[in-house]
A and B are shown apart, each in its own frame.
Chain A
Amino acid sequence: MRDVPLLIIGAGPAGLSAAYRAAEAGCDVLLLERAKKIGGQLVKQTHKFFGSEKQFASTRGIHIVDILAGRTKDLPGKVEILTDATVLGIYEDGVVTADIAGTIEKIRPQAVIVATGAYERTLAFPGNDLPGVYGAGAVQTLMNEYGIKPGDQVLMVGAGNIGLIVSYQLMQAGVKVKAVIDAADRIGGYLVHASKIRRAGVPILVRHTVEAALGDSEVEQAVIVEIDDEWQPIKETRQVLDVDVICVAVGLSPLADLLYQAGAKSFYISPLGGHVPLRDQNMMTTLENIYIAGDVAGIEEASSAMVEGELAGVAAAQKLGYETPDTDQLKESCLAELRQLRAGPTGGKIRTGLALAGVYS
């Protein structure tokens, strides 16, 4: 049994930022990451990030990881980071079990911050299980982590930020993107991304869906079709594209299994991506001393994930008695930053979602 003051689960932007702030206040931290590398989604993001300079705007995601990890060193509290360490459960007595490099270990933390990120949603269409129908995350992993082209000709399903960015990354890797389609009647992602891939000659078709993936043992073709106001296919508009990959980028949902399991109260809040655990202003869930931060608390951006992480880190440390004269001010400035990031029209969805969740009311 390991005894630690603060356990953080997940070393994405949220978890790393939480570790930094908690250790800065003097609290020792154990940070567990399931993957072999830290960074979460960031390790696959070769593009420059949006946001403001405080959240490293204009720095490529892959480089933000190093900055975040660097900040966790030489602080009053010690941050121990273990990779290949999957947390398996959080139990009522506060004990946490984890598979650390193949060995199951028990941990008894005084507080936990869950920063496990999200999982990818998928779509149901005939042939969706054929090899060659891949999640956007898989395409990114293959391409940007292992340096392998997922295929030669890709249909991208989803024109949100992920679909647009992954299309761009595919082209950077030398793969042809045949089209980007989206069932909604407008492009969901940032229009600057959309313009960028249009310049490369890739059509974006709104109000289109994928009807089927065709092929004997692998994807050889995709059938796409325009849909009407009732979301019914308009048969005459059916097109068959020769592609070997259909990349599904239809959104993310919070990966909050550990919290449901532990009994945290959660609600299905569609604008936040699915079931999200409720939390207070300090990011604490309905379970005493269990906090959340980042995409697990509602699908948003790395920028807000970092700020939420910082807020949870400061708050959890404070609750455990690690405080500095700046603590309250720091919390205030995190809240102000979050408000700023969510202020614009693109933050509307998040604001609605959070209002439904009772935050900010």
Chain B
Amino acid sequence: MNRIEHHPILTFPEKRTLTFYFDGKALSGKEGDTIASALHAAGVRVLGHHFKSHRPRGFYCAIGNCSSCLMVVNGVPNVRVCVEQLEEGMDVRSQNDKGVLP
């Protein structure tokens, strides 16, 4: 598990578990997570592939600055998943192209 259980200074209260789908596979995250943090906690670091170089991509800044983390969320492409709140039942897919409008 990648979640911090004990910390000398911070406390992370137990939160409700949310189920979402990554490329069709059911994963669980926690309420309050962003899509990126939930994926990371579930061990998913590769969020997609660059449309030109086809190299794997993950997040980089985690605060919505760099656009390294674009994914297709509920059919909408180019969502910066590092600042997008996770919701129950979300359909999250790797993005490997520039994204086509739904």
Given a CB threshold of 8 Å, the question of whether A touches B is answered with yes
- What residues on A are CB-neighbors of B34 within 8 Å? 146
> Which of A137-145, A179-187, A294-302, A313-321 faces chain B?
A137-145
- Which chain A residues (247-302) contact chain B, with CB distance < 8 Å? none
- Which chain A residues (154-212) contact chain B, with CB distance < 8 Å? 172-174
Contact of A146 with B37 at beta-carbon distance under 8 Å, contacts A119-B65, A131-B46, A172-B8 already known: yes
Q: Is the CB of A217 within 8 A of B56?
A: yes
Q: Is the CB of A148 within 8 A of B2?
A: yes
Q: Is the CB of B57 within 8 A of A146?
A: no
A60, A119, A141, A144, most chain B CB atoms within 10 A: A141
A36, A130, A133, A142, most chain B CB atoms within 10 A: A142
A134 on interface, CB distance cutoff 8 Å: yes
Contact of A46 with B2 at beta-carbon distance under 8 Å, contacts A133-B60, A141-B63, A146-B34 already known: no
- What residues on A are CB-neighbors of B55 within 8 Å? 129-130
- Which chain A residues (42-75) contact chain B, with CB distance < 8 Å? 46, 60, 62
Q: Is the CB of A130 within 8 A of B58?
A: yes
Contact of A218 with B45 at beta-carbon distance under 8 Å, contacts A119-B65, A131-B57, A133-B60 already known: yes
Which A-B residue pairs are the 7 nearest by beta carbons?
A131-B58, A138-B62, A147-B12, A131-B45, A146-B37, A141-B62, A217-B56
Q: Is the interface of B mostly helix, strand, loop or mixed?
A: loop
Q: Is the CB of A35 within 8 A of B10?
A: no
- What residues on A are CB-neighbors of B12 within 8 Å? 147
A-B contact pairs, 10 of them (CB 8 A): A34-B64, A129-B68, A130-B55, A131-B58, A134-B62, A144-B10, A146-B34, A147-B7, A149-B4, A174-B4
- What residues on B are CB-neighbors of A147 within 8 Å? 3-4, 7, 10, 12
Q: Is the CB of B46 within 8 A of A148?
A: no
- What residues on B are CB-neighbors of A218 within 8 Å? 45-46, 56, 58
Known interface pairs A131-B56, A149-B4; 11 further A-B residue pairs with C-beta atoms within 8 A, sorted by A's residue number: A46-B9, A46-B10, A62-B10, A134-B60, A138-B82, A142-B62, A147-B4, A172-B7, A173-B7, A174-B4, A217-B56
Contact of A146 with B58 at beta-carbon distance under 8 Å, contacts A172-B7, A172-B8, A174-B4 already known: no
Q: Mark B40-57, 1 if CB is under 8 A from A, else 0.
A: 110001110010000111
Give the nearest-CB partner of B49 in chain A: A217
- What residues on B are CB-neighbors of A36 within 8 Å? 85
Minimum CB–CB distance from B77 to chain A (whole Å) comes to 18
Give the nearest-CB partner of A255 in chain B: B65
A39 on interface, CB distance cutoff 8 Å: no
- Which chain A residues (62-119) contact chain B, with CB distance < 8 Å? 62, 119
- What residues on A are CB-neighbors of B82 within 8 Å? 138
With the chains together, A36 CA to B85 CA distance in Å?
A: 10
With the chains together, A62 CA to B11 CA distance in Å?
A: 12
Q: Is the CB of A135 within 8 A of B46?
A: no
Q: Is the CB of A137 within 8 A of B61?
A: yes
A120 on interface, CB distance cutoff 8 Å: yes
A132 on interface, CB distance cutoff 8 Å: yes
- Our pick among A62, A129, A130, A137 for the contact of B63 (Cβ within 8 Å) is A137
- What residues on B are CB-neighbors of A148 within 8 Å? 2-4, 37, 40-41
Give the nearest-CB partner of A217 in chain B: B56
With the chains together, A137 CA to B6 CA distance in Å?
A: 21
- Which chain B residues (10-47) contact chain A, with CB distance < 8 Å? 10, 12, 32-34, 37, 40-41, 45-47
